Amino acid sequence: MTREVRRVRRVVAEHLAGAGVASPQRDVDELLAHVLGVPLGQVALVDELTPEQADAFHALATRRAAREPLQHLTGTATFRYVDLEVGPGVFVPRPETELLAGWAVERAQEVRDRTGEGAVVLDLCTGSGAIAASVAHEVPSARVHAVELDPAAYDFARRNLAGTGVDLREGDLASAADDLLGGVDVVVCNPPYVPLEAWESVTQEARDHDPHLALFSGDDGLDAIRVLVARAAVLLRPGGHLGFEHADVQGEAAPAVVVADGRWSDVADHRDLAGRARYTTARLAR
């Protein structure tokens, strides 16, 4: 890498840092890789940028400094072992949600190992299709269904799930998949969970660019979770598993919704790699 390219990387990273971008150097390299059409690991081998590449890179960096999501600029997001198309109109999947997806993968594998048959997995509020795609990819025997209400997000999910074998449906989590009632092994969901009053605490990228339908859920952020818990109780087989993400401040409130419903056992909350409360799991009582 020439001194000039190193200088450009440093200067632009400093600019992004000053704009409040959380991972400025990583974002610079992601944008460079995108413009150059090379894997991220090869950015350090770049000797020079053509004038056209330099112009394209600086234009994207300017948009990133304005806090447009990195994934909207590149058009893709990596989630576990799958690459997803994302952009305006769909919630950008977060790394912390990979833990919930991993939990769903493990439960589906357990069903396969125990019964010799593919688990029936239902991903509600699928958004880009990230969790459904991951389960289908990692547990090919699973029969995966996914539901999304928002038409724009549904269109992204349709493209991301094409060829995966996932049964994608457009619908509401409160009434979706009547044909699966009592026959699902795993219900997994990353629902909206941000309280309306917490508007200012949401990152600028999410607040200004993610669909609000995927973010906000009533005064306490638990409205969608309440609906999910009630719906999952009629979708699952006895002993079936429910897992859903929640805000880090809902580590007690979210499990309490499940307990209050009265139909669940083994209610537990789980932390992410940063030690923050992240998702709740439970089993439908037999």
Instruction: Give whole-number Cα distances, 248 to 80, 100, 123, 251, 264, in Å.
Output: 21, 14, 21, 6, 22
Residue 70: which of 162, 193, 200, 204 has the closest Cα? Answer: 204
Instruction: Give whole-number Cα distances, 249 to 189, 192, 261, in Å.
Output: 18, 14, 20
Tokens found for residue 275: 């030690």
* Residue 193 annotated as binding site: yes
Torsion, CA 201, CA 253, CA 243, CA 148, rounded to 10: -50
Based on its alpha-carbon atoms, the radius of gyration of the chain, rounded to whole angstroms, reads 20
Residue 12: which of 46, 36, 21 has the closest Cα? Answer: 21
Distance in angstroms (rounded) separating the CA atoms of residues 198 and 221: 9
Angle at 33 between CA 29 and CA 35, to 5 degrees: 115
* Residue 191 annotated as binding site: yes
Residue 72 gets the label, from left (phi > 0), alpha (psi -120 to 50) or beta, of alpha
Report phi then psi at 172, rounded to 5.
-100, 140
Tokens found for residue 19: 């704009």
* Residue 39 annotated as binding site: no
* Residue 81 annotated as binding site: no
Three-state DSSP class for residue 273:
coil
Residue 247 gets the label, from left (phi > 0), alpha (psi -120 to 50) or beta, of beta
* Residue 106 annotated as binding site: no
Bind-site residues for substrate:
190-193
Bind-site residues for S-adenosyl-L-methionine:
148, 190
Bind-site residues:
148, 190-193
